[in-house]
DNA sequence: ATAGGGTTAG
């Protein structure tokens, strides 16, 4: 019945899963941590976080199963998504004090750090960043990436750059996400030259820019009144058979709309039905030449 | 079974 619960949860019918779970309990069937955690996922997916907290803290032990790290992390994420990261931190503290079989792991810290950054609680996020390392949970590529992202969004590109160097120094390899947030940060500020540097560093590491790299590049062009260049980039992409996704269309459509290019909008709208491929790896040279053009112009 | 990146509308 765990599988059935999971289905209810994933098909966005949490109430079905919960009703079913209630029946299972009334029938006197035993449950275990995995199934109980699926119930937590159901509740959190239905934005019923408080009930999930209640089950986590009280009902699970009544049912004879001890919450594990997955159970906690799912509820913590839900609290953070509700912009209640401080409540999440309180729960994390309770968990630590229980001194049970498991303790907060890298997922836990990443979840709450991300929550604090999202709420603008920068110092609380930074405190946790330092705390996790002290407690023997080293920050990983996700921790660094979300921290760098927060710095970029605060327009603190120098600090973001320092964190990037620090992670490399500590042996944590940046990935696409890491470089994408850096490139996005520089492009947003119109610092095309710096963005180009990041792009080259990224490819030098053997990383292949993806649809997110291209989309944020195009969006920045549009925001700087250079929709025409974004459109050219887009056209050369599609001409090579790469299939843009919905977000990319939105970006360009919005760019056209802003500049009053309604005929182009209609054309693009009609071409959305055209087929293409998903691969974007061959866009690298395109991006490179675009960046070069921008630097020279 | 859990964590991070791109867009728009209002």
The span from the CA of A183 to the CA of A219, in Å, is: 12
pLDDT, one tens digit per residue, over A15-64 is: 777 777 778 777 777 788 988 899 999 899 888 999 999 999 998 888 88
- Give pLDDT tens digits for A227-268: 999 999 999 888 888 889 999 999 999 999 999 999 999 889
CA atoms within 13 A on the CB side of A131: 17
**CA atom of A264 to C1′ atom of B3, Å:** 40
For A183-211, what is the mean pLDDT? 96
User: By percentage, how much of chain A surpasses pLDDT 70?
Assistant: 88
**pLDDT for A5:** 67
CATH of A175-297, one of 3.30.1460, 3.30.110, 1.25.40, 3.40.640: 1.25.40
Look at residue A286 in the predicted model and tell me its pLDDT. 45
Q: Is the CB of A247 under 7 A from strand B?
A: yes
Q: Which of residues 76-135 of A touch strand B (CB under 7 A)?
A: 77, 105-108, 110-111, 114
What nucleotides of chain B have any atom within 7 angstroms of a protein Cβ? 1-9
Residue of higher predicted confidence among A281 and A64? A64
Residue extents of the structural domains in chain A: 1-67, 79-154, 175-297
Strand B within 7 A of A176 CB: yes
Summary mean pLDDT of chain A = 88
Cβ A216 to strand B below 7 Å: yes
Check: CB of residue A196 under 8 Å from CB of residue A295.
Answer: yes
Nearest nucleotide to the CA of A152, by C1', is B5
Q: Could you tell me the distance in Å between the CA of residue A223 and the C1' of nucleotide B3? A: 30
The string of pLDDT tens digits covering residues A203-238 is 999 999 999 999 999 999 999 999 999 999 999 888
Residue A287 pLDDT > 50, yes or no?
A: no
CA distance A113 to A94: 17
- In sequence order, the 6+-apart residues with CB closer than 8 A to the CB of A289 are none
Chain A 8-47, CB < 7 Å to strand B? 33-34, 37-38
């Amino acid at each position: 019945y765990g599988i059935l619960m999971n289905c209810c949860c994933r098909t966005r019918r949490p109430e079905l899963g919960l009703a079913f779970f209630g029946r299972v309990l009334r029938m006197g069937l035993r449950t275990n941590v995995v199934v109980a955690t699926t119930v937590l996922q159901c509740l959190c997916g239905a934005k019923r976080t408080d009930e999930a907290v209640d089950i986590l803290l009280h009902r699970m032990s009544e049912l004879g199963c001890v919450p594990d790290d997955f159970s906690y992390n799912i509820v913590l994420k839900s609290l953070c998504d509700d912009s209640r990261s401080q409540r999440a931190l309180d729960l994390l503290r309770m968990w630590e004090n229980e001194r049970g079989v498991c303790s907060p792991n890298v997922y836990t810290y990443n979840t709450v750090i991300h929550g604090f950054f999202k709420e603008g609680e920068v110092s609380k996020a930074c405190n946790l960043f330092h705390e996790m390392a002290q407690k023997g949970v080293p920050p990983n590529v996700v921790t660094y990436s979300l921290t760098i992202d927060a710095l970029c969004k605060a327009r603190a590109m120098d600090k973001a750059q320092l964190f990037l160097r620090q992670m490399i120094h500590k042996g944590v390899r940046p990935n696409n996400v890491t470089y994408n947030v850096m490139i996005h940060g520089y492009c947003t500020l119109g610092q095309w030259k710096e963005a180009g540097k990041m792009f080259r560093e990224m490819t030098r590491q053997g990383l292949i820019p993806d649809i997110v790299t291209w989309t944020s590049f195009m969006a920045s062009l549009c925001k700087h009144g250079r929709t025409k260049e974004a459109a050219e980039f887009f056209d050369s992409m599609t001409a090579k058979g790469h299939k843009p996704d919905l977000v990319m269309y939105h970006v360009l459509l919005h760019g056209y709309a802003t500049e009053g290019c309604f005929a182009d909008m209609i054309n693009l709208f009609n071409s959305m039905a055209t087929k293409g491929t998903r691969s974007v790896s061959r866009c690298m040279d395109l991006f490179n030449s675009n960046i070069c053009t921008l630097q020279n112009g």
